[in-house]
Structure 1
Amino acid sequence: MDRKRLIAAALAFSVAALAALQSAEAAERVRVRGTVESLDGDMLKVKSRDGKDVTVALKSGWNVGGVVQAAVTDIKPGDFVGIASQPTDSGINGAIEVVIFPASMKGTGEGDRPWDSQPNSSMTNATVANAVTSVNGPTLTLTYKGGQRKINIPKGTPVVTLTSATKADLKPGAGVFITGERNDDSTVSADRVAVGLNGTMPPM
């Protein structure tokens, strides 16, 4: 191939790569929280917690994971957790919900980032370094690559852990939490569904 053709091919590849990148960036990431209305093949209909009907197009090979209740006393130093929290007047964030990850999922999504479950909330996926108990509930010191955060867990904060589940658990009325991408037709595409078991509502 001569030099001109090589340059043209390189430019075409660069344009295609840029278009693909822009398309990926343009896809709107959304989180769906609500209850199952129906499952028909790979189409899941959900009533969101704000009362909207959401259709989730499940991708080929999609899977489902279970969410079950746990207790704050189950949390031990060395555990990997995901905690949504908000700032408080004390200067220490207060937990909104806690997920205790199984040991096999340690390191999943490690870090601290903005979250959308409540105004000004953040999500911290990190390892429990220590816990100090007080009348206001335990305060955990969480460490992650590049930082740490202290979070107090007030009494009554939802605490859950993850377990196995099957597609049969996606029954009408079951609580679900789904992260996916918004499609042009306003449906949501996703490859995984977290479903609450035994009446548990995923708090994430």
Structure 2
Amino acid sequence: MNNIFITGIGTGVGKTVASACVAEALGAQYWKPVQAGLQDTTDTQTVRALLSNPSLVRDELYRLRMPASPHLAARREGITIFEDKIVEHARKLQQPGQPLIIEGAGGLMVPLNGDVFMLDLIRALEAKVIIVAQNYLGSINHCLLTAMALKQAEIPVVGWIFNGDHHSNEDDVVEWSHYPRITRIPRARKLNKDFVRLQAELMGPLLQQLVTA
């Protein structure tokens, strides 16, 4: 399967905006299989509003009301999230010659149910991974733990997308992890289609090269 999985070093590091920029750059479909928290705008709705071609955005498979870990939100609603159901749906969404951008929830060790973590789902999807990171106190540790887990699981990594203002930490993370930097997405004065289109144009050539490597 031609899947690219967008994971983060934690929650709130900018996966959704990064996913929109990657989907725009590759002309790819976007899909977030599990959405926990429906009170505000969902990630799917956000990406749909940011892409030049919103018809490439696919609806969630699991929509959970509680803003919490997927396994906890699903348990609260009496729902079980099945890994094989997500994988089967991903196969149905596949289009020849077009990648499917899949946004995860939180980081690699976020549980989907009592036995399956996000890392397990990535492996089952046979996906390449883009890691989204942001600088904050403790982010180096979170970055390198994420990289270590992916290496131990022998999951291919496309590279890093850093969000926010530049910090020398990102140069260190690239060197220590041996994964390339795809781009850094700056803080948006106004988050809209024009911003996403510009970021997609800037990352596009290197991203295409790394994805097909």
TM-score range, shorter chain: under 0.3
Larger Rg: 1
Higher strand share: 1
Output the TM-score relative to the length of structure 2. 0.25
Higher helix share: 2
Output the TM-score relative to the length of structure 1. 0.26
